[in-house]
Each structure stands twice: as structure tokens, then as C-alpha cells.
Structure 1
């Protein structure tokens, strides 16, 4: 008995892409006409109409290259909206740039242009919402055909995927006769992806036969999952392949932007706050005659230890260099001026120098002392993912801090929620979020758990 042939969803996706593209064309052109009418009172307004026509090919070119019309745009509404708005804003910026250098900017109304972009953005967003409504209600959320083949491998299921048992379906990758290969080919017909769960001994035959299938083929690997593999690199000259297990959370451009942000904040801040820093240093020195700064080794980026600077807040000789004992409320070791500095977070200001030296960032996971504990366990004993927070530079402030997660870690849960916030920050980093966290920090400088 021949297996049922899966319907081709590729044509469905192509129709959806074309529908979105045509709807975007209408949105941009109508937005130009509407903006000219609303702002100038003319319909059609000649320059507004011309500007819409100039914007359109730029938008479509960027959209076709940045995955505005892609499988991800059909599956994920947030992705779809982000890519479409990115294409719109970049195309508007490029058009403005071209008009400026062509010395024709005075012909076009900036207010009408901005209004047209707003209207177009709203219309394009509605198109994405409508598209996802169609995908969810009419197509039951299915925009790709995925087949999972089980062949004595680990249990594996995927939402929306069709599952076939290799033994029941008579699928044998080692068989070389045309009938057996045709049977497999019928099962794979119109599939966008095939995932095989098989034993270790069967991986090579399945890999061999999938290469001739004409579809994307994947073979589950428990060892690769256990070490967190995210990609594969081939070294053809050495006839070897390696599993990629880490790539760093930020690319070169993102790191450069983040560093420029740090320097733009830390440099001017040190200059503007120089009188405050001098006054605090004098107060600490006059307090008991001890050193002004407290230098403590902390774990930084790449799990490398660096000397973190703070204004000394404990009595001379009472400072805990390794952080064996967390500071407690009404801690007898803390001086009078130190208590004020801790309560207002002013003791952290010398870390601006750490930022300038490149050891820290304005925003990032807060660095911890080497012997810090949650309950009676060292931080990395509570959760092995603790070391992952050091893939970025530590920060003067961070997502955990603006969420009120400060003070001693008396229980393991105190560390767990902070670690989760740090990992969330790393996974979802962007410059606007850094700026927002920095501004929100101003609201929590004085905190009930700052002692």
C-alpha cells in the first residue's frame, strides 16, 4: 500500500509571501497618498506620491534580503513585525540620505514624509496581524511539512510534525534496491524537513540516503545535545568535522556599539562627578585614616579575574577581600560614611574607571566576589549555568539590579532569580535595553536591600 502523499506547503508559503508583498506595496503607496491629503490637502499630492514610489523599490529590496518574506515571518509574529519595521525604517533613512545629497530634500515635506512612514508602518503591521490570523485559523498554524522518522532512536516529538515508524513503514536506509528507495521517496515527497531518530549504528546509512532526498535532513544526536552543540564546522582538508558549542553572545558590530556606549557614558561621568568623587574620597580618608579605595578580585568576562574598585565602606582591616561573609544589615564592620555610601550606591562610582579600562561595562551582569555563597553553597554549586553569565563584561548595573534583586543571597533562590535575569539580559541584548536599564537604575540607587 502506497503511503499517503503529503500536500505541498511550499506553494502555500509562496502565496502567502506574494500576498504580503502586494499588501505592503499597497500600504506604502496608499500611505503616501493619505499623508499628502491629510497634511497638504491635495489628492493625489504629486511630491508625496513620487516619494512613495521612490520608497517602494528600496523597501522591497531590503525586505527580500532581510527575511521580511520568509518562513520565520509566517511562524513568528514578533519576528515578522520586527523585520518589516526594520526594512521600512532603513529604506526611509536611505531615501532621505539620497534626497539630501541630490539636493532635492527641500521639495519634499518632512512632516508629510514622517506621516507617510507612520501610516505605512501601521498598515504593514496590520498586514502581518492578518497574515498570522490566516495561518492560525485557516491553515491551523501549519506552514511547513515536517516528518519525524523513528528508527530505534530516542523518543522525539515535534508540534505539527508527522511521525512515521521506520519498521512499520518498511523504511530501511541500508537497502539499495529501487523499490525500497522509492518507498522512502514517497514518504519524503513534499516534505520541507525530515528528522530521523535512530541508533548510533544507523546514523551513517540515514545520512547517506537523506543526501539524495532533496529535502533538509537532520539526524538526532544525544551527545551533541548534551554538550550544547549549536552548529557543525567541516574541515575538509583534515577530513574531520567539529561541533560548534559556543559563538559568544555578541558579534563584532554589537560589541563595538556597546563599547562606544560605555565610553560615551563613563568618560563624561568621571569628569562631571570629579568633585563628588573627591569629596567622598576625603570623607573616607578622614573617617579612620585608612585607604580610600577597596580593591577586590571579581570574576569578569570569560571567567577572568580582575581588580574591581569601590570606595572603602568597612573599617580598615575588616574588609573581606574574598567575600567569604556577605554584608548584613547593621553590620558592625561598616563605617558611618560607608553606611551612607552603600545606601546610596555611591561606593560603586570608582567602577567607572573599570569601565574605561575595559574590564567592565555600564550595563551587564554584576560581578561577584570569589567566595560568594547562596545559603551554604558557592554560587556555581547552586547552578552550573552560573559561569555562562560571564560571556559578557560585568556591569555597573544590570537587569537583576533594576528588578530589585540586590543585597545578600541568604537562600539559593536569591541567586537563582538573579542568574535567570542575567541570562535573560545576555540572550536579549540590545543597545536600547542598555539605555533603559541605565535610566531605571537611577530609580533604585537608594534601595532597602542596599546595606
Structure 2
């Protein structure tokens, strides 16, 4: 099906060409206006997907608790705690939430206007209880349940739903006004096409898109400096730097599909950023099947790339990191204490070594390790990679580097949140291969920073760890890192985590 879809063919072609041809554009210096605007958007906004997801959970809890509370008050639970009641209450509450989802009552536009959806909410909640009654009748168990309890639960549950919806409407409107809940977008491309797109987005009712600016490689003669009231903030190189400062959700490419070469050239430069990339289909004459599009209101977009590990996936991954980081700290604490004592006994200086490395979206983070070198010969920049029999490494250092014990303090990095347990390994900011920085060696290297780096990773358990003494080694690391990003799942993380101790037994490339 997807192979016959023109939109899918275009997207696949774009992805294949990302790793071929011209090198990605380097980040450029921002002008003062662009930097000021980027700074305004440094903080993350609330995701509408997360907001509606939390509301589902809260409504389920409210319905379930109200049903259980009425049951506990009306029925003598000490003498007749019927297991059927709690089971029925939980099941009915879940069905109600599912039906509210099916009827689109968790859409942000509907949450803004609860008065318009009162009839649907009443119908869904009443219909759910009616369905429960019908099922009980056919199962010949309806006589076992209290009609007074059922009627009380209907009115109490409905009242709680309506109160919550009106409170939520006020909160959503407030979050929209102060920018706490919005999707931040940057327009790539200028001129009349961009202006038409911006006007169409702004005309959408209950629009949650905040356009942060316009970027275009063309000069002011071919691309006006102001489009629909929004300033052109720079070229594509400046956009890469802008997106590393501001928390941008979406890049919308405002170019016609017929300009295929230019579109692919832009995508080649932009795919390294951790954002959704959409191609505006608003002004194109070509029309694909409806399911080929995503929509901003009624404005059609072609999905080129999605931001990896987003929304609830990021919540699940963060919970995974916290649980297993705490577990790792507890289990390995005797080894870490013994290592700290050994380091102190052998050489003067601190036990821990702090190094600047590239983190998520190219941010510079501090990564902690056990110190494995003599203090006066430490290399915080990692400009000179450690080699076999390196005289800078202490005797204890050789052991802990071979066994990767020097990396154990990174459990604390993962617990803090600037590392994940599993992900592309963070490299030092000045790490080099044959006097060239890694991004100068590998085309699309910075795409590995679209997710948070990890204590361990897919490349490491496949043997790509240790000294980088050949360009092919950093290229293969990057290939494995990109495979991990494109195929991420919690099960994949768990597999990598469980395989790590086994694969670390191979110390051939660890010095």
C-alpha cells in the first residue's frame, strides 16, 4: 500500500538521499534578533498529546473512585464485599474513557469549548451505564446490583466529568495564552508560498501553532525580509543554530513539490535536528489520498520525518532510566566504593573526572567518570585519544578502563537526566579522528544527537567501542547509533542493557 503512495515514495527518496551527496550545512552565527527570539523559546512547552493523555487517566480515576466511594457508603462492605462491584466499576470507567476517545472528546479544540460537547458527554456516560445494565441483564446478574448505587453513580460521575471539563477548559485557554501549551513551528522558505501558508494556519480555529520565524537561503531580493508579519531570521545554517537554542517542535518546508531538488537539498541539511519535519501541501496542485497527510486544522502537510522518542515514549524511557539507574547504583555501589579507594591510594587527585561531551541536540553536558589518568596528564577535551599502553593511564586506570568500571558514575548522569541508560554514546566535544572532528569525518554525524546519549548503546555491544584509530570506526558507530534511533523501543533498550555486561567481556579495543 505505502509503496504505491506518491507521498510515501517521495519521503523514502528523501531519506535515502540524506546520507548521500552534499555535506550538511554547519550551524551559523545568529543575528541579535534571531538569538533574542530563540532565547524566548528555550523552555519546553506542554505537549497537547500529553495533556489529553493525562486527562484520560484523571477521568478514569475520578469515575472509578466515585463508583467505589458510593458503593462503600451504600453497601456494607464489611459484611458483603462483592468482588463484582469493583470489577464492574473499573470496567465501566475504562469503557467510558474509551468511548470519549472514540467520539474525539479529548481533542484540544473540544476541550476549549466544553459547552459545545455537553450532549456528547452525557450521552457517552449514560450510554456506558446503559450498556453495563444490558450486559448484566443478559448475564442474569443485574439483580445482584443496587439500582440506587447505579443511579447515584450516574449523577455523581456526570457531575465530576462536567466540573473537570470546565476547569480543564479554563486551564487550556490560559496555557494557550501564555504559551505554556503550543506547538512551535519554523517556516523554511519565503515569498508568496510562505505567506499563503502562514495566513492559512492563522485562520484555523483554535490554532495552537506558534510561528517563531522564517528561514530562507535566498537573499532579500528573492525572499522578502518580512513575510506575513514574521521576520526572516537567517539562512538554513542559522536555523540549525536557532533550533539548538529554542525548543522547536516542527519545521514546515514551504516549497512546492515540483521544486524537488531544492526540497531534497533542504532536507539533507535539516534531518539532523530533533524536530518533526513537514512539507506543506497547501498550495500544491498534486493531491494524494487523505491518509497521506497530517493536518494543522484543515491545512494539509506531508510527513517527512518525525521527532524520535517523543511524548509518552519519552515518559516511558525516562521512567526506565530512573528505575534501572537506581538499581545499578545499589548493585554496583560496593565496586564503586572499592574503585574510589583504589584511585585515592594510587595517585593524588580527585576520584572523579568530569568531561564536556555532546548531549541531546548538541548541547554540551558534563559526563562523570572515575579518574583513570594522572591528574597532570588528564585530557578533558579528549583531543588525544587513549591508546594501548598509554603512559598517561594509571595502573588502576588500566583495569577500570578495560572493564568499563570507569563509566559506572554515569548511572548518576542518567538519574539526573542529562544521559539516558541506553542511547548513542556521548563523545567529547573535541574528539578527533586523524586530526578531524567527528562531524567532519561522518556525513550526518549530528543526527545521532536527536535523542539523549546513553551510558551504553547499540554500537558498543556490537563491538564498536574503544580507540578511534580509523575513520571507518566512527562511521560504523554512527551507523549503529542511527539504526538504534530509527528502531527504538523499550524492549530494544532492555535487550541492549542485558547484553552490555556480556559484551564488555570482550576488552580487545578498550585501553
Structure number with greater Rg is 1
Which of structures 1 and 2 has the larger relative contact order (alpha carbons within 8 angstroms, sep 6+)? Answer: 2
TM-score, normalised on structure 2? 0.44
